[in-house]
Amino acid sequence: MSEFRQDPVTGIWMLLAPERSGRPHDLLRSPDESVDDGSCPFCAGREEMTPPARWARSVPGEEAGWTVRVVENRWPALTTPDDVDGSDDTHAPLPYRATTGFGAHEVIIETPRHGEGLADYSHEHARLLVDAWSDRIRFWFADGRLACPVIFRNWGRAAGASLAHAHTQLVVLPRVPDAIVREIGNFAGASALRGGCVLCDAMAADDAGGRVVFDDGVTAAHVPFASPVPHAIRIAPRRCEPTIAAMGPQDADSLAAALVASARAVSGALGDVAFNVSVHVAPYTAMRVAGLPFHWHVDLIPRAADLAGLEVGSGLYVNVVDPDRAAAELREGLARS
């Protein structure tokens, strides 16, 4: 089993998962060489190369028999044995802390076709992806043993992808991660100070500043005023909701449209650049106890530049493209796509 370890100097938790080193890689080559050579486990017709499907849906007329498919990760960073109720402390030399790597790790295979990406999906296809995300979040909420779901997508080698075939990952943690704890603090602080939602206020400021990339009245995609990297996009609903697990059909349709539009905007503006997607939702306590201030959002972060010493050493990001200009370029990219 993997192991969580905390550094007492920084307070940062890390996950030691040596078993992950054995997972397959086809992105050790350049992106244009990452074609299916017959060994991709996510392609249609090779379903026996993955664990059994835990969830599968298809758009009408899908030749593969499935359009989006969810399986357990074959090389999981975390595992959820049936006879274990949660993380246990493990031996660590003081002042370090360590606990067992209890949790869930699933792969959401987004398409049966190699080489197809988020910008290529039809609306119906993207809606199935959103449904997979929300359904699996609800599944692990019902399990009752875990604290917080984290959904992320690595597209391209520079974004950390090991396989070229489009896929999302769901990791469900036994504790609320530090990034979400900080965001909860920001939401709670703004609510106590001004009686409102800090993300709603940020969206209003980005509306007024013209940093909108997509907006259908239900969900909007902005380039935030304080974007950490060039052409970063934040997708969020106009209405405060803590998690995508509670979305109705209209909200799910809108998120699907926003995801595809954002991917097309990045592709149209920057070309075939690597990017990360991270879905920020409230921890499961927010689904059990009403009133926790949180507003779900999705970050799309292009990886056109590497982090350097200042970012790593201080946590201070340097963005060389004004967000106003980036938003205009992304709108032009979306128009061209």
**Residue 143 sits in the same domain as residue 209:** no
**Residue 182 sits in the same domain as residue 317:** yes
pLDDT at 22 over 80: no
Q: Which residues contact 156 (CB under 8 A, 6 or more apart)?
A: 27, 31, 272, 273, 274, 275, 303
Does 68 reside within a domain? yes
**Residue 193 sits in the same domain as residue 155:** no
Share of the chain above pLDDT 70, in %: 95
pLDDT tens across 118-155, in order?
999 999 999 999 999 999 999 999 999 999 999 999 98
**Residue 13 sits in the same domain as residue 152:** yes
pLDDT tens across 262-305, in order?
999 999 999 999 999 999 999 998 888 877 899 999 999 999 87
**Residue 97 sits in the same domain as residue 162:** yes
| Cβ atoms of residues 259 and 251 within 8 Å | no
pLDDT at 36 over 90: no
Q: How confident is the model at residue 157 (pLDDT cuts 50, 70, 90)?
A: confident
Share of the chain above pLDDT 90, in %: 82
> pTM here?
0.94
**Residue 153 sits in the same domain as residue 14:** yes
pLDDT at 328 over 80: yes
Q: What is the mean pLDDT of residues 303-318?
A: 87
The last residue of one of the domains, among 173, 195, 210, is: 173
The last residue of one of the domains, among 150, 173, 196, is: 173
**Residue 228 sits in the same domain as residue 318:** yes
Mean pLDDT for the chain overall: 93
Does 25 reside within a domain? no
The last residue of one of the domains, among 116, 138, 173, is: 173
pLDDT at 28 over 60: no
Q: How confident is the model at residue 33 (pLDDT cuts 50, 70, 90)?
A: very low
| Cβ atoms of residues 155 and 118 within 8 Å | yes
Does 27 reside within a domain? no
**Residue 145 sits in the same domain as residue 203:** no
**Residue 217 sits in the same domain as residue 306:** yes
**Residue 83 sits in the same domain as residue 211:** no
Please tell me the total count of domains within the chain.
2
pLDDT at 35 over 70: no
Range of the domain at 251: 178-336
Q: How confident is the model at residue 308 (pLDDT cuts 50, 70, 90)?
A: confident
Does 31 reside within a domain? no
Which token pair is 245? Answer: 């697990």
Does 26 reside within a domain? no
What 3-state class would DSSP assign to 194? helix
| Cβ atoms of residues 50 and 75 within 8 Å | no
Does 214 reside within a domain? yes
The DSSP element (H or E) to which 261 belongs, if any, is helix 249-270
Strand order in the sheet with 219-222: 53-57, 68-72, 104-109, 167-173, 148-155, 275-280, 297-302, 233-237, 219-222, 212-215
**Residue 44 sits in the same domain as residue 135:** yes
**Nearest residue to 259 via CA among 129, 95, 96:** 129
Alpha-carbon torsion 337, 229, 208, 291, what sign?
Answer: positive
CATH number of the domain residue 100 falls in: 3.30.428.10
**Residue 139 sits in the same domain as residue 186:** no
Round to whole Å and give the CA distance between 210 and 62: 40
The distance between the two most distant Cα atoms of the chain, rounded to a whole number of Å, is 59
Name the least confident of 3-12, 81-90, 99-108, 320-329.
81-90
Does 308 reside within a domain? yes
Q: What is the mean pLDDT of residues 192-212?
A: 96
pLDDT at 206 over 90: yes
Please state whether the peptide bond connecting residue 112 to the residue before it is cis, i.e. omega within 30 degrees of 0: no
Round to whole Å and give the CA distance between 39 and 244: 34
